[in-house]
Amino acid sequence: MSYAQEYQRSLTDPEGFWREKAELLPWFEFPKTILDQDPNGAWRWFRGGKMNSCWLALDRHVEAGRGEQNALIYDSPVTSQIRKYTYSELTERVSRVAGALQGLGVGKGDRVIVYMPMVPEAAIAMLACARLGAIHSVVFGGFAAPELATRIDDAKPKVILSASCGIEFANVIPYQPMVREAILLASHKPEHNVVLQRDQCIAVLDNERDLEWTQWEAKAKSVGCTEVDATDPLYILYTSGTTGKPKGVVRDNGGHAVALNYSMSAIYGVDAGDVFWAASDVGWVVGHSYIVYAPLFKGCTSILFEGKPVRTPDAGVFWRVIEDHKVNCFFVAPTAYRAVKKEDPDCKLQKRYDISSLRYQFVAGERLDPATYHWLRKHLDVPVIDHWWQTETGWSMCANMAGIELMECKPGSPTLPVPGYDLRILDESGREVGPGREGSVVIKEPLPPSAFTTIWGDHDRYIEAYWSKFKGFYLTGDEGYRDEDGYVYIMGRIDDVINVAGHRLSTGQMEEVIANHPAVAECTVVGISDEGKGQVPLGLLLLKDGVNIEDDELERELVQMVRQGVGAFANFKRAVVVKRLPKTRSGKILRQVLRKMIDGEAYVVPSTIDDPGVLPEIEGILRQRSVMGAR
């Protein structure tokens, strides 16, 4: 079948299309309804289906004779370890951890926070929750204590699963001080904190809620899979929104399994037995979907990599891992390849390795800039495929469908909408725009399986943030256009979300932290372009009257505050004092105009601006402070 036929069918007969895809998976009981709406009006897939996501990922493969195949390969250049787990071994570990969680009173519907570095136990923890029908909420290890506390208060977990430390290049980052501070800050107090001790840093476990992982797991009995409904939640994953409060994206079991299983063959062109590597982190949606669930649903071998593209030990590590584990499909953020390109511009290190197993190179998480695309095309003998997606959908919305029909790749475009996504570009008034014209990228309802069905504990926000601007359309928050051939180009966010090294961050989150500084009267954070990281945040500040503080000292203090309040990965490094901020007459700060001005893009000064003289004034200050011009 051609891409065009597959795509058309998904839109004209969504129920027939997705019934077929659902039939590719074994269910405990096949769904009674393929698509309907819940009492909140949210679209739901596969109601009445009985299943278990952990069983689909593990046990059924063992039962089908795949027990001796590697399910997970942990490759950790930062600890010089490689550990391999067959499907049988992984099933055994997961069943035991599930038993241990059950021993702590965790059952169906209970929440468990997983705050862990890139170790196999992170994936084991997620699958163990799924086994019990418990809801995991993985928090990226780079988040500082206040962010962890916000998530504890929102998800109200019974248990936290954590580790003694993470490792960033050669730096050991102790986790327990952050877990303790977060529990102190949070109003909700989890009953238990299970800590995986790592040789690089042994945590002191003196709190009554602390348990040591190895003993805790060793004492437990293996348990089987709890049957859940397809519409029961599998996980909550917090993501940045317009305000400082993160949104708990809720993903259900059935739609997730069907869509991810389909994506492996249709998008990534892989099959059971293939080796799949997504070099992301389990704390992000890419890690959830393509390190843990999708490769295992499909019966692939998944690589869990605890390292960096460079300096672990060098810019040849990607090629080394591809050779060592015979990777067939590799997925990474463009920022990682920009780091490789900077250290090894002619890709000389690649020549030391045999990467002939590789069939596809996928990239996502941020726009694949044409320069990086051309560099990859020059140095890789395989298709380089940009694809566009979000935490909210859990899988790709636009891609070149390698498993169906490989289309021409156009630099700067993630190609065409994936089956199931009726993508449109709308102008401010909700009218569809023609080729070449930029607008809001939206998806006509219903979203396909795997898309989120609510925001944890806040369905009103789900409606308000995503469904209220254009009736019947899901607002992706991205702007972009389509060309004459329908190819989609994603140009950036229309809201206050920024993308730093493939990490999604809210500028509001940082503004809340900065506003706590006693010298700051008002501030705004904008994402400005950066050669390596795509974007980095820049703070613009108004000081309180009478405050006397050196600009450099204030900048240093604010950098520390954001590191401790949000996390070092936010890369907040510059804060500049200005005299005024550009605002509309109603007081709204013109962030997008500021961003475009700083990035040297064309911008229109809105007629509602309070004082047009503010922009050149800020430009002058930023030039003086070497934010503009020097970049």
**Residue 244 binds to ligand COA (criterion: CB under 6 A):** no
Contact 281, 141 (CB under 8 A): yes
Instruction: Specify the residue, 332 or 490, whose C-beta has the smaller distance to ligand AMP.
Output: 490
Site for ligand AMP in 253-282 (CB under 6 A): none
Shortest reach from residue 572's CB to ligand COA, in Å: 10
Contact 194, 141 (CB under 8 A): no
- Characterize the bridge pairing of strands 574-577 and 534-543: parallel
Take residue 422 and report the two structure tokens written for it.
Answer: 């009726």
**Residue 229 binds to ligand AMP (criterion: CB under 6 A):** no
**Residue 490 binds to ligand AMP (criterion: CB under 6 A):** yes
Among 569, 576, 591, 618, binds ligand COA (CB under 6 A): 569
Strand stretches in 393-533, DSSP E: 396-399, 416-417, 422-426, 439-444, 454-455, 473-482, 488-493, 497-500, 503-506, 520-530
Site for ligand AMP in 514-573 (CB under 6 A): none
The answer, yes or no, to whether the previous bond of 313 is cis (omega within 30 of 0) is yes
What residue 389 binds from ligand COA, ligand AMP, none (CB within 5 to 8 A, per partner kind)? ligand AMP
Name the residue among 91, 154, 102 with its Cα closest to residue 124.
Answer: 91
Burial 411-437 (b: 16+ CB within 10 A, else e): ebbbbbbbbbbbbbbbeeeeeeeeeee
Among 25, 82, 173, 347, binds ligand COA (CB under 6 A): 173
Among 202, 382, 426, 568, binds ligand COA (CB under 6 A): 568
**Residue 174 binds to ligand COA (criterion: CB under 6 A):** no
What residue 390 binds from ligand AMP, ligand COA, none (CB within 5 to 8 A, per partner kind)? ligand AMP
Site for ligand AMP in 377-396 (CB under 6 A): 386-391
Shortest reach from residue 467's CB to ligand AMP, in Å: 16
Who's near 46: CB < 8 A, 6+ residues apart? 22, 31, 33, 34, 230, 231, 254, 255, 258, 449
Instruction: Specify the residue, 257 or 562, whose C-beta has the smaller distance to ligand COA.
Output: 562
Distance CA(385)–CA(399), nearest Å, equals 7
Who's near 74: CB < 8 A, 6+ residues apart? 81, 82, 83, 84, 85, 119, 120, 304, 306
Among 131, 338, 367, 574, binds ligand AMP (CB under 6 A): 367
Count of residues in contact with ligand AMP, rule CB under 6 A: 20
Instruction: Specify the residue, 236 or 339, whose C-beta has the smaller distance to ligand COA.
Output: 339
Shortest reach from residue 573's CB to ligand COA, in Å: 8
Contact 40, 459 (CB under 8 A): yes
For the window 134-163, what string marks contact with ligand COA as x by the rule CB under 6 A? -------xx---------------------
Main-chain phi, psi angles of 210, to 5 degrees: -80, 140
- In 3-state terms, what secondary structure has residue 345? coil
Contact footprint for ligand COA (CB under 6 A)? 141-142, 166, 168, 173, 280, 284, 286, 308-310, 333, 335-336, 339, 365, 501-503, 533, 568-569, 571
Residues that bind ligand AMP in the complex, under the rule CB under 6 A:
239, 285, 364-367, 386-391, 414, 476-478, 490, 493, 499, 504
